[in-house]
Structure 1
Amino acid sequence: MWKILFIVLILLFPINTMAKSPATDELVDIAEFAKNNRLTIEEWQVIIKEQLEENTAINIVDNLKNSYKVTMSEDENIIQYQTEATQIEDAFTITYRVLLPKNNLGHPELIVILDGYFWDEFVMELYQAKIDSLNKSYFSEKERTFSWLKVKQDDIIVNNTLIDEIIDYFDLQEVETQLDLTNNTKGVIKKFIYGYTPLWDNKITINNIANNIQVASTEDEKGNTEYIIGTPILIHEY
């Protein structure tokens, strides 16, 4: 649903993006917030995308074939090369995709996806080292990065109290809350909170309003709440 929402926003509104500051990593910041609030991190994902020249994209595919098993698939519009998800020290996986549009329908694109299911100091160090390596090997500071993590409460916390903690911790501005009216599950309440934090340069601008953080909360019929915190907006790659 997140990816659909993001695509709809792109189609409906002009969006401007800004590269993130090299000294900032949004996932690390969000994970630190979770740690400070005794929240258990259940899952996280970082998606890095950059448009490329065709010869650069082809060279990357050739380089990936030297180190990974690469599969190719295609449809009438695009050729996709993808590596298998590769485990990094049993801490997280990394997957590479290279998209080559046909008939000059767009720019080739490199997509790197990092997926993890827990977080601690060891994972953070491996993650930061891998990001540094990716930046040196593949990206040119023109990439777009989307990050999110899913957390659960270890203690009983009032839903609005945690949202207030997020607003205060990240100094959120332009805060907007929306209920998910498409949800038909009885007893389940879903809502989205959008805002802008000056802590990060990475952002999207819709109708002259900057956004770079989104929180999705899902409360079940027993009052248990799951939170997904993402930046600049929630999307998911499979």
Structure 2
Amino acid sequence: MFHRILFSSKYPIIQATKTLHMINTPVQRRNQAFCLLLVICFVVNQAFSQSYQTDEMQDLGAFAEENDFAIDFWEVTIKEQMGRERAESLVENLETMYTQHEDKNGDRVKYTFYNGHNNEPFYVLYNVILPLDKKEPAEVIIVLHGKDWDSQISQKYEKEKAAIQKKYLTKESQLYTCLSIQDSDIINHDEFLNKAKKYFNIKHISTNYDNIENSRIEQSTYGYIKTWEHFYFMENDPKNVHIAAVTGHHGEKSFMIGTPILINEY
């Protein structure tokens, strides 16, 4: 790519090179060569200064490992809308491999397939939602869910996710991650938030307190992590990470961190 940019006949470097042949004085040639060097340095810098994109769940898992956090669970949800024929073909494919559960509700039919065993570090749920109105697009929701994380699980997760995306989905799919950490006597919300800020170098931070009655979310913090690809805008700032302090049904507390926004049912 850099070679094509550098030697394209329309690029200023070539024009500058042609000009050098027309210059006779040594001073002019040195000045022109210096300018040419600056242009080359600029092009090289642009070619190699793009943000390095990483897998969000891998980052969250490494964050938990480094801080010895007690994990409640981790979850990756992949969503995609697709044409009905392709979705029906997917249902036929999945039912040859996994047990099917069918749920008819209102104006749609939901097919659920479970891929997991007791000795596996995580399981996969395949959900295919077919509207009764055949003109409406179908929706596929695939969930990877586990309760532990280490280097072996990390490798298995990466392999499983890549296979799912290649076999069943396209580049149009949307991916959401969530990591839930248990509250303890040695860490509170502020300390967890500060560790996340430092580890991920979170920018554009904003915090909201939930005043909704019976809400399980006590506090939500949003921010932006440069190495994570997807983001949205909130109050004119990019956001792609969501941290929440959550109270469980029995009063237990946990801290959730996810991207680009937590979609789990608290």
Aligned to 2:143: 113
Superposed, 1:128-139 pairs within 5 Å as: 128-139=158-169
Q: 1:44 deviation in Å?
A: 0.9
Aligned to 1:70: 100
Root mean square deviation of aligned Cα: 2.8
Greater relative CO, 1 or 2 (CA 8 Å, sep 6+): 1
Cα distance in 2 between the residues matched to 1:88 and 1:66: 21
- Bigger share in helix: 2
1:86 matches 2:116: yes
Q: Which runs of 4+ in 1 moved over 6 A?
A: none
Aligned to 2:85: 55
CA deviations on 1:135-193 (whole Å, 9 max, x unpaired) are 211111111011101113567235323312212222222211111223559xx982111
- Bigger share in strand: 1
In the alignment, structure 1 segments of 5+ residues that lack a partner are: 1-20
Task: State the AA in 2 paired with 1:25.
Answer: D
Cα distance in 2 between the residues matched to 1:171 and 1:228: 17
- Pick closer, same or farther for the CA change 1:126–1:191 going to 2, 3 Å: same
Aligned to 1:232: 260
- Pick closer, same or farther for the CA change 1:109–1:225 going to 2, 3 Å: closer
- Pick closer, same or farther for the CA change 1:61–1:88 going to 2, 3 Å: farther
Superposed, 1:76-225 pairs within 5 Å as: 76-87=106-117, 89-104=119-134, 106-152=136-182, 156-182=186-212, 190-206=218-234, 208-218=236-246
Count of residue pairs brought into register by the alignment? 213
Aligned to 1:16: none
Q: 1:237 deviation in Å?
A: 6.5
Cα distance in 2 between the residues matched to 1:159 and 1:236: 19
Task: State the AA in 2 paired with 1:211.
Answer: K
Cα distance in 1 between the residues matched to 2:128 and 2:207: 36
SS in 2 for 1:230: strand
Q: 1:235 deviation in Å?
A: 1.0
Of the two, which has the highest radius of gyration?
2
SS in 1 for 2:70: strand
- Pick closer, same or farther for the CA change 1:195–1:25 going to 2, 3 Å: same
SS in 2 for 1:118: coil
TM-score normalised per structure 1: 0.79
Cα distance in 2 between the residues matched to 1:169 and 1:65: 42
Task: State the AA in 1 paired with 2:244.
Answer: A
- Pick closer, same or farther for the CA change 1:219–1:75 going to 2, 3 Å: closer
SS in 2 for 1:128: helix
Cα distance in 2 between the residues matched to 1:130 and 1:153: 30
In the alignment, structure 2 segments of 5+ residues that lack a partner are: 1-50
Contact 1:159 1:225 in 2 (8 A): no
CA deviations on 1:5-64 (whole Å, 9 max, x unpaired) are xxxxxxxxxxxxxxxx99621011011112222212221111101111111111101100
